[in-house]
Amino acid sequence: MNTLKEKATSIQTTILEKIHEHEQIVFCNDPNTGLKSIIAIHNTTLGPALGGCRMYPYASFDEALEDVLRLSKGMTYKCAAADVDFGGGKAVIIGNPLTDKTQAMFRAFGQFVDSLNGRFYTGTDMGTSTEDFVHASRETKCIVGIPEAYGGSGDSSIPTALGVIYGLKATNKTIFGSEELAGKTYIIQGLGKVGFKVAEQLLESGADLFVNDINPQSIAFIQERAKQLGRNVKVVSGDDVYTVKADVFVPCALGGIINDVTIEQLKVKAIVGSANNQLLTEKHGEMLKQKGILYAPDYIVNAGGLIQVADELYGYNKERVLKKTESIYFSLLEVYRQAELDDITTVQAANRLCEKRIEDGKRLNSFFSHAKRPKWDIGH
Ligand code: NAD
């Protein structure tokens, strides 16, 4: 049994190892507003770092640091997968979002972001709202994803849902030889901003749907929409969603839903959805492969929202975002092809694709600096 001291040393060793993978870590402390924040810039090979800012009552400083290091590295992969000219970064604010937030705190945070002179762009994440970033945007131009009225691109669930549809087409093409959505059965878990739009498009294309949501109102909305389209949906309750026989499972609610228990139950040929972190652990990607279930890595499929906020740097253009979201179709086909060729999981193939894009980026630009990239109109 480890002593407490040994445990603490081992956590710190892990953090130290991760720190060495990062380009820059900034600790932001403003006693006037109570702001305690960490900004982590993981890698700017492909462009300035981009990543949301999470507010959470972390139990310790080390816990906050570990979270921001992990999340910022994830953003390097997400940006590479989405093929946008951004690198990976993330910020965390230590505090309770329900009781500790103030307008002044987010303005102070905006000032710290501004001090990075265009190396880091941020916006909402868990515990923060677009309103918080409207305050921050008074101090810096490096804010994305705020409402259209404030010059942002607004609701990102439209391109995210479109990305899921492209993901489904690429998956159908790989399994059935045709990207046709009709004539297949889909189970949608979660009928919120993304899931509802995906369900609607599938119904319009003539597909058969099972739907599942803990909120009865969401079920009523999709039933109403199906009626308007002269179609029907079958409602599945609770965990029965994992036992239905269908072609594709479309998770658009929670993370961690692909685990030892659910993999045992699943009777689908593929999983393609928007939910973040669908696999409980990496080993579950291997288990799906062994069971013959094709898994579309979530960070490839749900990149539509990221593509939208990244587009704000060029002056947001809706048509361009919807066009670029189509790249999800091609990236996913490539991931499936590589996974098959090398007999690896689709997650391993997706990670390799991202690492290759970052390597290619190094040849163009070994290190991002504002001075080197005059094409970026970042207003400094
Ligand atoms: P949302 O909050 O609008 O919708 C989530 C829906 O899931 C709600 O209707 C909720 O009632 C339902 N739900 C919650 N728990 C459930 C459960 N146990 N079983 C069944 N249904 C449940 O969220 P959203 O914006 O539609 O996002 C859905 C998922 O996609 C999330 O994991 C989110 O992180 C991810 N995602 C969203 C975007 C985006 O642009 N909105 C981008 C990338 C990833």
Atom of ligand 1 nearest to the CA of 303: 43
* Amino acid identity at 202: L
Contact 279, 348 (CB under 8 A): no
Residue nearest to atom 41 of ligand 1 (CA): 157
- Mean pLDDT on 308-327: 92
pLDDT at 17: 72
Instruction: Write out 265-327 in H/E/C secondary structure.
Output: HCECCEECCCCCCCECCCHHHHHHHHHCCEECCHHHHCCHHHHHHHHHHHCCCHHHHHHHHCH
Q: Is the CB of 298 under 6 A from ligand 1?
A: no
C-alpha of residue 307 to centroid of ligand 1, in Å = 18
CA atoms within 13 Å, Cβ hemisphere of 119? 20
pLDDT at 373 over 80: no
pLDDT at 278 over 70: yes
- Catalytic residue positions, numbered: 90
Of the candidates 42, 83, 133, 38, which has an alpha carbon nearest to the alpha carbon of residue 306?
Answer: 83
Of the candidates 238, 171, 243, 242, which has an alpha carbon nearest to the alpha carbon of residue 207?
Answer: 171
pLDDT at 328: 96
pLDDT at 370: 55
- Mean pLDDT on 148-170: 94
* pLDDT tens-place string over residues 179-223: 999 999 999 999 998 999 999 999 999 999 999 999 999 999 999
Whole-structure pTM value? 0.87
Percentages helix, strand, coil for the chain (3-state, rounded to 5) are 50, 15, 35
C-alpha of residue 195 to centroid of ligand 1, in Å = 7
Query: Cα dist. 143→44, 89, 109, 204, 285 in Å?
Result: 17, 13, 11, 36, 34
C-alpha of residue 222 to centroid of ligand 1, in Å = 15
pLDDT at 80: 94
pLDDT at 374: 44
Per-residue confidence band for 368, with pLDDT thresholds at 50, 70 and 90: low
Of the candidates 54, 22, 23, 26, which has an alpha carbon nearest to the alpha carbon of residue 39?
Answer: 26
pLDDT at 363 over 80: no
Dihedral (Cα; 299, 266, 234, 303), 10-degree rounding: 0
Ligand 1 mutation target, pool 54, 160, 250, most atoms within 8 A of CB: 160
What is the residue-averaged pLDDT of the chain?
92
* pLDDT tens-place string over residues 284-305: 999 999 999 999 999 999 999 9
* Amino acid identity at 263: I
Contact 70, 18 (CB under 8 A): yes
C-alpha of residue 191 to centroid of ligand 1, in Å = 7
pLDDT at 379: 47
Q: Is the CB of 72 under 6 A from ligand 1?
A: no
pLDDT at 1: 47
- Mean pLDDT on 152-160: 90
* pLDDT tens-place string over residues 112-131: 999 999 999 999 988 999 99
Q: Three-state DSSP class for 205?
A: coil
Q: Is the CB of 237 under 6 A from ligand 1?
A: no
Atom of ligand 1 nearest to the CA of 192: 4
Atom of ligand 1 nearest to the CA of 159: 40
Per-residue confidence band for 257, with pLDDT thresholds at 50, 70 and 90: very high
Q: Is the CB of 229 under 6 A from ligand 1?
A: no
* pLDDT tens-place string over residues 54-77: 999 999 999 999 999 999 999 999
pLDDT at 135 over 50: yes
Q: Is the CB of 123 under 6 A from ligand 1?
A: no
Percentage of residues of the chain with pLDDT beyond 90 = 84
Q: Is the CB of 321 under 6 A from ligand 1?
A: no
